[in-house]
Amino acid sequence: MPPALLTTSLVNSIQIGSLYALMALGITLTFSVMKLPNFAHADYFTAGAYAALIVSLSGAQNPIAIMSAAFLVGALTALLSHLAVFKPLESREVSLYTLILASFAVGLIIRYILFTMADYFNLFDLRIGIPLQVLYREGFLILSNIFAWVVPTTIALVILLTLLLNATPLGREMRALANNINLARVIGIPVERVKNSTWLLVGGLAGVAGALWSLQTAVNPLMGWAAIISVFAAAILGGLSSFSGTIIGAYVVAFSENTVILFLNYSFGLDLAYKPAIPFIIIIAVLLIRPGGFTQLLKRGGKLQR
């Protein structure tokens, strides 16, 4: 495998892995706190990307403004789906499959609202108007301004999230819910408020991930759904309960999809069309061999971990 390709694919792995991480953390958080594997998560991401696109098309090129808009739209979409759909269903104590099905339906609705909107305003396959620039070049290593946005933002958000979870009252309350929701209720934690905050946080993260994604690739209504399998693979690798596990999982998935497949292509002639099979293989392998994901390796007890 030529070194130029290797370096580029590694840079891609890091960039895409960061975006996967932002999304997968949301899935892990939803699953830990709300006990819900939320397949609509993909579409909060897409909604965020479209918010970013629209803000940027309307003239604002300030990345902070773009990302705030994406956060806001993602957060509100998530909160709305909780209040309108998941909360009433949960209060009826429906089965987990009903909730999963409902999350599919929510995703479907968001996706096709976006389709209708994109169709009406001609917003298919557009990119945010920030031009691609090369910031750094050293031998084969080329880093773009997009890389410089994606990776530090991810790191900053992960640090913020970790702080929030471990050093704030809200974080403590979220962990209490993750451990035992009934106990949390008994000891007087405002469960509904904590849930609402979690939804806002989770949706916002997905929205920001969508905005960052739209810096590197054109936006379309299916982009979230296209990424969801990889993102679930990352969350499953993290055992759906650990932050560090999820982040490692995200980079592992991105690395497999970008670098490993190229390596296999060069060494064994494997067709690149099989790339989408990678997250599937990861999911199956993890679920069958080591259902706890990396978390079992990093085990420290407790439900929601760093």
Partner 1 sequence: MINIDIGATAIAILTLFGIYSLMAISLNLEYGIAGVPNFGQALFVSIGAYTAGITYTRVLPLLAGLESVHPCGPTMGQALQLRSEIMAAQPLAGFINLGLTFLIAAIVSGAVGFAVSYVTLRLKEEWFLALVLLVGGETVRIVVRGADDFICSHNGISGVAQPFYFLRDPHSSSLLFMLLCLALALVAYVYSQRLAHSPYGRMLKGLRENEDVTRGLGKGISLARAQIMLIGSAIAAVGGVLFALNTGFVNTNDYVVNLTLDIWVMVVLGGIGNNRGALLGAALIAILDRFTQVGAIALNMSGSEIEFNYVRFIAFGLILLLMLRYRPTGLLPESRLTTNAHDVVRRAIGASNQPPTPSRHRDGGHPKHQGGGAMRET
For position 251 contacting partner 1 by CB under 8 A, the verdict is: no
Comparison of 68 and 220: residue with beta carbon closer to partner 1: 220
Comparison of 66 and 235: residue with beta carbon closer to partner 1: 235
For position 156 contacting partner 1 by CB under 8 A, the verdict is: no
For position 93 contacting partner 1 by CB under 8 A, the verdict is: yes
Among 106, 177, 178, 184, binds partner 1 (CB under 8 A): 106
Among 9, 52, 73, 111, binds partner 1 (CB under 8 A): 111
Q: How far is the CB of 259 from partner 1 (least distance, A)?
A: 19
For position 291 contacting partner 1 by CB under 8 A, the verdict is: yes
Residue window 27-66: x/- pattern of binding to partner 1, with contact defined by CB under 8 A:
----------x-x---------------------------
One DSSP character per residue, the chain reads --HHHHHHHHHHHHHHHHHHHHHHHHHHHIIIII----TTHHHHHHHHHHHHHHHHHTT---HHHHHHHHHHHHHHHHHHHIIIIIHHHHHTT--HHHHHHHHHHHHHHHHHHHHHHHHHHT-TTB--SPPP-EEEEETTEEEEHHHHHHHHHHHHHHHHHHHHHHHSHHHHHHHHHHH-HHHHHHTT--HHHHHHHHHHHHHHHHHHHHHHHHHHS-B-TTHHHHHHHHHHHHHHHTTTTBHHHHHHHHHHHHHIIIIIHHHHHHHH---GGGTTHHHHHHHHHHHHH-TTGGGGTS--SSSSB-
Q: Whole-angstrom Cα distance, residue 273 to residue 194?
A: 43
Longest dimension (CA), the chain: 61
Comparison of 136 and 280: residue with beta carbon closer to partner 1: 280
Size, binding site for partner 1 by CB under 8 A: 44
Q: With contacts defined by CB under 8 A, name the span among 146-154, 183-191, 225-233, 259-267 that binds partner 1.
A: 225-233
Among 5, 100, 126, 218, binds partner 1 (CB under 8 A): 100
Residue window 257-286: x/- pattern of binding to partner 1, with contact defined by CB under 8 A:
--------------x-xx-xx-xx--xx--
Comparison of 138 and 271: residue with beta carbon closer to partner 1: 271
* Contact of 127 with 56, CB cutoff 8 Å: no
Comparison of 160 and 284: residue with beta carbon closer to partner 1: 284
Where does this chain bind partner 1 (CB under 8 A)?
Answer: 37, 39, 85, 88-89, 92-98, 100-102, 104-106, 108-109, 111-113, 115-116, 119-120, 225, 229, 232, 236, 271, 273-274, 276-277, 279-280, 283-284, 287-288, 291-292
